[in-house]
Chains A and B, each alone.
Chain A
Amino acid sequence: MTTTTFFLFLIPVLAIILLAVNLILSPHNPYQEKDSAFECGFHSFLGQNRTQFSISFFIFALLFLLFDLEILLVYPYVVSAYTNGIYGLVIMLVFFLVLTLGFAFELGKNALKIESRQGYNFNYKSWSGYSLIYN
């Protein structure tokens, strides 16, 4: 067993030991009020969670997936840039051009904004000219 393997085993074991210490040593006397969902000032009730949430979170997750995949696809180019030469560089730049066009499209579609009812917005439009980003 190498040190690496041991390390990979050690940490879960550590977590389980800490959990076991807590479960064994601590008192445990639950009652209904204690075990119900947290609410401030009045009784909590079920059915107000795991329902709909803002679509922005889903859009961010979707965009993250695409972008991270694209960044990770460039990693192999970067570590072998010397072998790839100018051909690899051009292919990488074309790839990134397509990515940037897609990104500009997303910005223009306002996909990267979360609606806020508050007055001051970080993207406050202070420039009245034509803009791809702020519209």
Chain B
Amino acid sequence: MIYLISVLEGLLVIVPALLSVAFVTIAERKTMASMQRRLGPNVVGYYGLLQAFADALKLLLKEYVAPTQANIILFFLGPIITLIFSLLGYLTVPFGSGLFISDYSLGLLYMLAVSSLATYGILLAGWSANSKYAFLGSLRSTAQLISYELILSSVILLVLLLTGSLNVITIVESQRAVNFLFPLFPLFLVFFIGSIAETNRAPFDLAEAESELVSGFMTEHSASIFVFFFLAEYASIVLICVLNSILFLGGYLSIIPLDLILNVLNLFFDVNNTILYDIFVHISSSPLNLALKTAFLIFVFIWVRASFPRIRFDQLMSVCWTVLLPIVIAYVVLMPCIVYGLGIIPINISLL
């Protein structure tokens, strides 16, 4: 029985994660289409909603091409590694209060580690294909991923300074007073730019700059291993948007200041024992909050893609190393001093 529950819990996370990946692809195509005054996919299913499943089925039934010059084992292993490590990050995400697979005390460190291991998949895939486009694409992609990961981990360091814990749930719960978006707004911007670059999205999608590198590191990949890259890319977009909302927008905490509304209402009526109070309590930490925040951030990802032209690779790297990194390092020096000076260093006493 206990095994059955474990199996169900695992599936309850991974199946909606994959479904959300499918719907993010269709949402992206639809949003891009309406931003460019096109219709977008509208044939398969109602309003084109089943397009992603049709694409996935088509790709799964396509012929796989294993180039003769490639190292076959690494060629297949690369995409698998990328997919596995981009999906493993969902392990420590708290979807609502009490809704998580693992309440791991080093949750954020785990997420960082897993997301950086996904780089190996790209490196392996590009190198093993033994094609110049794949090789150049994987070099670029790896350099970009590791550079921007540095920024992400430094910003996470500063968030940790205000929470004092690597546990993801503690980070969410310590934003009950105020979302970290407000005290750390410049860092949120840096983190968001970093996450767009980390997921290889336009305007930072230099790894698969179609005009010069065909399709970057996945030039030689076809059929299901291409699906793996595709799934991994969108799964990591969803995951990094979830991470953005957890770190800065308060995760599953309510968007509306329900406590304030409740207090104001209490001045006039006695709502504490009514059904309204129960509804408020349910809303205040429901998974829907996290979903709304994440969906909005994903929309911004697509919006950015539709709005900005692609920048050049050397510009991309100099933005990272000579603009974003000095800003973040200055913050790393400044913030501990402010936190110490104000005497607001957090302390988390374990309740066990």
Contacts and interface: CB of A to CB of B under 8 A. Distances in A.
B336 to A, nearest CB: 6
A23 B227 CA distance: 13
Contact of B68 (A22, A35, A107): A35
A50 B130 contact: yes
The 7 closest A-B pairs by CB, nearest first: A22-B224, A114-B314, A112-B321, A37-B131, A82-B347, A122-B315, A64-B146
B298 interface: no
Contacts of A3: 5-6, 9-10, 101-102
A15 to B, nearest CB: 5
Contact of A25 (B61, B165, B315): B61
Contacts of B9: 3, 6-7
Contacts of B312: 116, 118
B327 interface: no
B283 interface: no
Contacts, number: 215
Interface size classification for chain B: 35 or more
A115 to B, nearest CB: 7
A67 B214 contact: no
A18 B336 CA distance: 47
A30 B333 CA distance: 58
Contact of A7 (B14, B83, B129, B219): B14
Interface stretch (B24-32, B132-140, B174-182, B262-270): B132-140
Contacts of B147: 60, 64
A73 to B, nearest CB: 11
B60 A11 contact: no
Interface of A: 1-8, 10-12, 14-16, 18-19, 21-23, 25-30, 32, 34-38, 40, 44, 46, 48-50, 53-54, 56-57, 60-61, 63-64, 67-68, 71-72, 74-75, 78-79, 81-82, 86, 89, 92-93, 96, 99-100, 103, 107, 112-116, 118, 121-123, 133
A116 to B, nearest CB: 5
Given A19-B225, A29-B63, A74-B332, A67 B133 contact: no
Contacts of B91: 4, 7-8
Interface stretch (B150-158, B190-198, B300-308): B150-158
A113 B132 contact: no
Contacts of A50: 127, 130, 135
Nearest to A46: B69
Interface stretch (B38-46, B236-244, B337-345): B337-345
5 contacts: A7-B101, A12-B80, A61-B143, A68-B146, A103-B329
Given A7-B91, A81-B339, A122-B318, A37 B130 contact: yes
A37 B76 CA distance: 16
B91 to A, nearest CB: 6
B170 to A, nearest CB: 10
A36 B157 CA distance: 46
B282 interface: no
A15 B149 contact: no
A99 B347 CA distance: 27
A115 B312 CA distance: 12
Contacts of B133: 38
Contact of B322 (A11, A21, A71, A112): A112
Given A60-B147, A118-B312, A75 B139 contact: no
B62 A26 contact: yes
B73 to A, nearest CB: 13
A101 B133 CA distance: 37
Contacts of B65: 30, 34-35
B220 A37 contact: yes
Given A61-B146, A82-B346, A75 B329 contact: no
Given A7-B14, A27-B63, A37-B69, A19 B347 contact: no
Contacts of A49: 130-132, 135
A68 B328 CA distance: 13
Contacts of A61: 142-143, 146
